[in-house]
Structure 1
Amino acid sequence: MKNTSKKNNNFKAPDTGLNSADAERRKTEGRSNFVELLPMEVTFKIFSQLDIQSLCRASGTCTSWNHVIRNNDSLWKPHCLTVRAVCQKEIDDDIESGYTWRVILLRNYQKSRVKHEWLSGRYSNIRSPVSLPEKAMCPMDADTWGEILDAELERETEKWQ
């Protein structure tokens, strides 16, 4: 059987005035450097919608994103204030010491997660240090451990009443 289909060899793509290298370069620039193309207010608004994990990932995307995210303290402040709900004393001390919001968050984020888990009773039923997951420990001051101990004692008291 004979193939009767005919190809239209007369079709030409419209001439855009760009060679393929220019087109590829512009496509790549537009995709990775919107930070440089948009007004800073718009860029900050976009980045301010990200959660902590996404903001950290975005800062690793490219140099221009990293520069904008790393050097804009107002992007880190709301996340830091959320952590402050658990680590008020630690955050306030760091603010008084003059740390940037980003540094304060880096210093206290893991601690706030661990402290929150301890205070919520996640580790109340663990009877041996060997049973504790490694992520359940991090350096904390005596006041923090005092808060955790008070919460544990209160839970134990409630059990016996």
Structure 2
Amino acid sequence: MDAADAQQARTASHSSFVDLLPPEVTCKIFSQLDVQSLCRASETCWSWNRTIINNDDALWKPHCLTARAVCPREIDRDIEHNTWRETLLRNYQKSKVKHAWLSGRYSNIRSPLNLPKRFMYPMDVDTWGEILDAELKR
């Protein structure tokens, strides 16, 4: 093995699969991740984030459409001015909290002290109105 081959072997061993596989394949791999895993992968490797995750809206759109099932008004408003990724990141936690409220998770709360603080999220008046309507129909 000459010096050039040795250098090429060292470079290849330091490359991630994102650098070695065709972009279509890496996108397919990342598209199989849930939201939390996709966010973690973007924080794990600068190259992954820069090359694929941050720049490929197709990775974020399905997750955003899932959140839209709970927060259609919020998602529709945000997607006009933001990417799918930005829209999802702005509305993901809200969609989780809103879903919990609408599914009745907090229906029997007797006091604000009984609400789990780490699962709460600030919401606008229209969202609270939707939640109140759902509670009144129960």
- TM-score using structure 2 length: 0.89
* 1:26 Cα deviation from its structure 2 partner: 4.6
Higher helix share: 2
Segments ≥4 residues shifted beyond 3 Å:
21-24
Q: Contact 1:124 / 1:152 at 8 angstroms: preserved in 2?
A: yes
In the TM superposition, what whole-angstrom CA distance separates every residue of 1:77-102 from its partner, at most 9, and x where no partner exists?
Answer: 11000000000000000122x20111
Alpha-carbon deviation of 1:22? Answer: 5.2
Task: Determine the structure 2 residue equivalent to 1:7.
Answer: none
Q: Paired residue for 2:71, among 87, 90, 99?
A: 87
Instruction: Look up the match of 2:13.
Output: 28
Moved more, 107-116 or 46-55: 46-55
1:107 Cα deviation from its structure 2 partner: 0.5
Q: Structure 2 unaligned segments of length 5 or more: list them.
A: none
Q: CA RMSD in A?
A: 1.9
SS of 1:115 mapped into structure 2: helix
Among all aligned residue pairs of Structure 1 and Structure 2, give the percentage whose two residues are the same amino acid.
70
Partner in structure 1 of residue 87 of structure 2: 104
Which of structures 1 and 2 has the bigger CA Rg?
1
1:56 paired residue number: 39
Q: Could you say if the C-alpha distance between residues 23 and 41 of structure 1 is closer, same or farther in structure 2, counting changes exceeding 3 Å?
A: closer
How far apart, CA to CA, are the structure 1 residues paired with 2:11 and 2:122? 48
Q: How high is the TM-score relative to the length of structure 1?
A: 0.77
